[in-house]
């Protein structure tokens, strides 16, 4: 007790610095503070609030000023001592700078007529937090930029993330990236069968197999995440063209024991972040080992959990909300006396790299979805700020935020971004620091847009890191874990009439390519086609390679044909590789200079050794 009192006294002395003994000032403090004002800009450094500051004194000199100064005061507050009456004076509506986070306000009061009379209070009150942009929770912002992510400072056009985005006018010319998603539902355990994978008989506290249609709707319904990704709104406040379709989809068939798993596990059910008291998410760091790396052989779905199709996926764990046991009661079993926060939220520990690559078991936790659904079917039960989205399919939207993070897209605000980016913001020049529309903003009810750079980052992530959770169409209505480079698996991609398309990033097609009449395609990087596919340039169409490379990724195969009825231009530095037959029709032409041809069936006597061209 003596130690505690001494510690408190020392702490008091550290923040309260009394004046010299003959100085009559005995206190200075902030007594009132108004709300933050953002000055109608997104620059938080100009945010301010107005506060009342009271100075208490036993007497005052006959002349001079009473002055208050402080690091966050926009200017010193002063008053003639002749205006003082009594033992205290309050400066009204003093302009004070808002700070990135609320912090202590240090103030110093003095009489200018008394040289040594200065009274300092390091904890005179609290500042207001800036109000221009969204802040992130303490400890979650400003981490190092992951070393395996594509560089944000690339100079070459082919390495710049924004160029991987779909053409805003022709999104269908960018192939969809498919992300295998496994859903895990944590439920309450049977109190008499703890640790035996038996769910609570009366109160599972989360979705069950009886709700499988709800889970399936998250992936199949237009109101679900895939519907959001394919029908983006326009954000009038950003610097991006309207990106209508992200060309990214989540795969899940809603099949229990295949891509939906139910886990009776009280600790997993109780993973959460906000509310009631600190903590609540420590068990999250055991989940990947318990359910992904080394599942318990006694788990009813053990064989399915260890299957490669399950292991090589992105995992979404749906929890019941934050639960922390409190006495009395069994700490292993949730009861009415415990700390419980059932509201929505999410977290991921996979926004980064492991050993220079995507984490082995990328996953996220999504809190409170079941409770939010209960709000939707039980009028008046609303207890959370973010409530029922209007449809059961919309409940799945919550998983998108953490998925965006795993795919290298960060929050807009520099004060909310989880990583440090080269531009000081989120790494995208076309995103505003604050937006009511952007999916990475803070308006949870209205968010519906992504920018060209944000989408480009995700496609660049897929192309550069080749994550194990990506899936590839097999051409028969299904998907494979590995790419299929040795045969076409999709209908020919058609550059439509009148389109002028420039591919400034590498492209790996799953099909042949047709350039229609009056259409032009310019390739500036690598363009690969599956073996057996053909490229057709129709009469009036145009294909231009600007130092690009046309080839196949099939080790032993070749592109079937380059059929030219229009115009093909191969500029210096271009490479044409592994084409079985180059056929130029009577209406077609093909120009090449300083181009390398490798393993190509060229027309007799053309191109090789001419205009600096080489053939291998």
Return the bridge partners of 270, or none.
none
My answer on whether 295 and 423 are in the same domain is yes
> Are 292 and 214 in contact, with CB atoms under 8 Å apart?
no
pLDDT level of residue 375 (50, 70, 90 thresholds): confident
On whether residue 1 sits in a domain, the answer given is no
Look up residue 277 and give its two tokens: 């008291």
Task: Give just the sign of the alpha carbon dihedral 128, 132, 136, 138.
Answer: negative
577 bridge partner residues: 598
> Do 403 and 502 lie in a common domain?
no
Does 109 have pLDDT greater than 90? yes
The conformational region for residue 467 under phi > 0 = left, psi -120 to 50 = alpha, else beta, is: beta
pTM value is 0.91
Question: Which are the contacts of 63, defined by CB distance < 8 A and separation ≥ 6?
Answer: 81, 82, 113
Residue listed under structure tokens 């891509």: 259
Question: Is 224 inside a domain boundary?
Answer: yes
Cα 142 to Cα 157: distance, rounded to the nearest angstrom: 27
461 shares its domain with 497: no
pLDDT range class, residue 244, cuts 50, 70, 90? very high
Show the tokens assigned to 176.
């969809």
Q: Do 454 and 517 fall into the same domain?
A: no
State mean pLDDT over 143-157.
96
Q: Which two tokens stand for residue 35?
A: 């709300």
Rounded to an integer, the average pLDDT of 549-577 is: 98
- Establish if 145 belongs to a structural domain: no
**Looking at the domain assignment, is residue 365 inside a domain?**
yes
At 381, the pLDDT band (50, 70, 90 cuts) reads: low
Give me the half-sphere count of Cα atoms (radius 13 Å) on the Cβ side of residue 259.
19
Confidence band, pLDDT 50/70/90 cuts, at residue 7? very low
316 and 362, same structural domain?
yes
* Closest listed residue to residue 567, CA positions, set 546, 584, 549: 584
Matching residue, tokens 């229009």: 566
More confident residue, 16 or 94: 94
Q: Are 448 and 437 in contact (CB under 8 A)?
A: yes
| DSSP code at position 565 | S
Computed on alpha carbons and rounded to an integer, the radius of gyration of the chain in Å comes to: 32
In a domain, 148, yes or no: no
| Residue 480 included in any domain | no
CATH (domain of 115): 2.60.40
CATH code for position 307: 3.40.390
- Please check whether residues 224 and 371 belong to one and the same domain: yes
> Are 426 and 331 in a shared domain?
yes
Domain co-membership, 231 together with 115: no
Q: How many domains does the chain have?
A: 3
**Range of the structural domain that residue 51 is part of:** 14-126
Look at residue 18 in the predicted model and tell me its pLDDT.
58
**Half-sphere exposure (Cβ direction) of 409: Cα atoms closer than 13 Å:** 27
Question: Which of the four pLDDT bands, split at 50, 70 and 90, describes residue 380?
Answer: low
Q: Which two structure tokens, joined as six digits, stand for 43?
A: 């620059």
Residue 297: CB atoms within 10 A of its CB come to 9
Pair 43, 100 in one domain: yes
Long-range contacts of 31-39 (CB under 8 A, 24+ apart): 31/90, 31/125, 33/96, 33/125, 33/126, 33/128, 34/93, 35/128, 35/131, 36/98, 36/128, 36/129, 36/130, 36/131, 37/131, 38/130, 38/131, 38/132, 39/132
pLDDT over 70 for what percent of the chain? 95
In a domain, 140, yes or no: no
204 and 92 in a common domain: no
Same domain? 183 vs 301: yes
Does residue 330 form part of some domain? yes
Mean of all residue pLDDT scores within the chain: 94
**pLDDT digits over 292-339, tens only?**
999 999 999 999 999 999 999 999 999 999 999 999 999 999 999 999
- Of the residues 397, 430, 465, the one at which a domain ends: 465
DSSP code of residue 593: S
Residues 282 and 417 placed together within one structural domain of the fold: yes
């Amino acid at each position: 007790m003596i130690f505690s009192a001494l510690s408190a006294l020392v702490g008091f002395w550290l923040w309260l610095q009394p004046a010299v003994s003959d100085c009559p000032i005995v206190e200075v403090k902030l007594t009132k503070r108004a709300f933050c004002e953002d000055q109608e800009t997104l620059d938080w450094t100009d945010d301010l609030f107005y506060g009342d500051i009271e100075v208490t004194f036993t007497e005052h000199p006959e002349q001079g000023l009473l002055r208050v100064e402080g690091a966050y005061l926009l200017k010193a507050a002063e008053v003639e001592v002749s205006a003082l009456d009594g033992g205290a004076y309050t400066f009204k509506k003093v302009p004070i700078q808002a700070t990135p986070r609320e912090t202590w306000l240090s103030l110093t009061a003095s009489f200018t007529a008394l040289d040594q009379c200065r009274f300092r209070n390091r904890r005179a009150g609290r500042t207001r937090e800036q109000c221009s942009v969204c802040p992130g929770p303490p400890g979650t912002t400003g981490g190092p930029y992951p070393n395996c992510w594509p560089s944000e400072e690339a100079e070459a056009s082919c390495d710049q993330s924004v160029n991987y985005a779909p053409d805003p006018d022709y999104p269908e010319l960018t192939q969809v990236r498919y992300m295998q998603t496994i859903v895990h539902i944590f439920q309450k355990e049977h109190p008499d069968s703890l640790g035996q994978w038996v769910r609570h008989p009366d109160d599972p506290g989360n979705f069950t197999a009886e709700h499988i249609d709800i889970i399936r709707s998250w992936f199949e319904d237009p109101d679900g995440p895939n519907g959001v990704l394919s029908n983006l709104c326009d954000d009038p406040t950003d610097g991006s063209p309207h990106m209508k379709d992200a060309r990214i989809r989540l795969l899940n068939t809603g099949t229990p024991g295949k891509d939906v798993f139910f886990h009776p596990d009280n600790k997993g059910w109780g993973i959460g972040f906000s509310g009631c008291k600190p903590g609540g998410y420590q068990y999250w760091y055991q989940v990947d080992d318990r359910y992904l790396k080394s599942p318990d052989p006694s788990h009813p779905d053990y064989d399915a959990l260890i299957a490669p199709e399950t292991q090589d996926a992105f995992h979404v764990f749906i929890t019941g909300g934050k639960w922390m046991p409190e006495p009395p009661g069994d700490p292993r079993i949730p009861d009415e006396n415990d700390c419980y926060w059932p509201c929505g939220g999410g977290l991921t520990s996979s926004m980064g790299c492991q050993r220079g690559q995507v984490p082995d078991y990328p996953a996220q936790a999504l809190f409170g979805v079941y409770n939010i659904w209960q709000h939707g079917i039980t009028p008046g039960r609303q207890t959370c700020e973010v409530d029922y989205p209007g449809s059961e399919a919309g409940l799945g939207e919550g998983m998108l935020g953490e998925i965006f993070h795993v795919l290298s897209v960060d929050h807009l605000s520099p004060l909310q971004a989880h990583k440090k980016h080269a531009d000081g913001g989120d790494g995208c020049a076309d995103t505003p620091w604050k937006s009511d529309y952007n999916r990475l903003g803070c308006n949870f009810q209205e968010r519906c847009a992504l920018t060209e750079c944000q989408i480009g980052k995700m496609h660049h992530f897929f192309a550069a890191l080749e994550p194990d959770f990506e899936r590839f169409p097999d051409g028969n209505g299904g998907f494979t874990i590995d790419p299929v480079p040795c045969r076409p698996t999709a209908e020919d991609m058609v550059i439509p009439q009148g389109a002028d398309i420039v591919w400034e990033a590498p492209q790996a097609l799953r099909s042949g390519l047709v350039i229609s009449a009056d259409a032009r395609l310019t390739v500036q990087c690598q363009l690969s086609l599956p073996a057996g596919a053909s490229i057709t340039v129709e009469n009036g169409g145009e294909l231009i390679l600007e130092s690009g490379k046309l080839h196949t990724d099939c080790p032993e195969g070749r592109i079937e044909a380059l059929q030219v009825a229009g115009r093909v231009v191969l500029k210096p530095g271009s490479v044409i590789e592994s084409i079985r037959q180059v056929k130029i029709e009577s209406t077609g032409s093909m120009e090449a200079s300083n181009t390398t041809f490798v393993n190509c069936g060229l027309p007799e006597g053309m191109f090789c050794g001419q205009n600096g061209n080489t053939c291998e």
